[in-house]
Amino acid sequence: MRWKDMRESANVEDRRGQGGGGRGGFRLGIGGIIAVVVISLLLGKNPLEMLGLVSQFTGGGQVNQQQAAPAANDEGKQFAARVLGDTEDTWTKLLADNGMAYKAPQLVLFNNPTHSGCGQAVSAIGPFYCPADSTVYLDLGFFRELNQRFGAKGEFAQAYVIAHEVGHHVQNLMGISDKVHRLQKGKGEAAANALSVKLELQADCLAGVWGHYAQSRGLLEAGDLQDALTAAQAIGDDTLQRNAGRNVTPDSFTHGSSAERMQWLQRGFDSGQMQDCNTFGGKG
Residues at the interface with Zn ion (CB under 5 A): 200, 203
Q: Return the number of other C-beta atoms located less than 10 Å from residue 269's C-beta.
A: 24
Q: Return the number of other C-beta atoms located less than 10 Å from residue 141's C-beta.
A: 14
Rounded to whole angstroms, how far apart are CA atoms 23 and 27? 9
Pick the closer one to Zn ion by CB: 130 or 203. 203
**Closest by Cα among 280, 162, 158, 166 to 231:** 158
Given a contact cutoff of 8 angstroms between Cβ atoms, the answer to whether 60 and 50 are in contact is: no
Min dist. Cβ of residue 6 to Zn ion (A): 22
For the chain, the farthest-separated pair of C-alpha atoms sits apart, in whole angstroms, at 70
Pick the closer one to Zn ion by CB: 54 or 274. 274
Min dist. Cβ of residue 46 to Zn ion (A): 46
Pick the closer one to Zn ion by CB: 55 or 116. 116
Min dist. Cβ of residue 203 to Zn ion (A): 5
Given a contact cutoff of 8 angstroms between Cβ atoms, the answer to whether 137 and 168 are in contact is: no
Min dist. Cβ of residue 279 to Zn ion (A): 12
Pick the closer one to Zn ion by CB: 25 or 256. 256
Pick the closer one to Zn ion by CB: 26 or 110. 110
C-alpha 73: how far from chain center: 20
Rounded to whole angstroms, how far apart are CA atoms 248 and 239? 8
Min dist. Cβ of residue 180 to Zn ion (A): 12
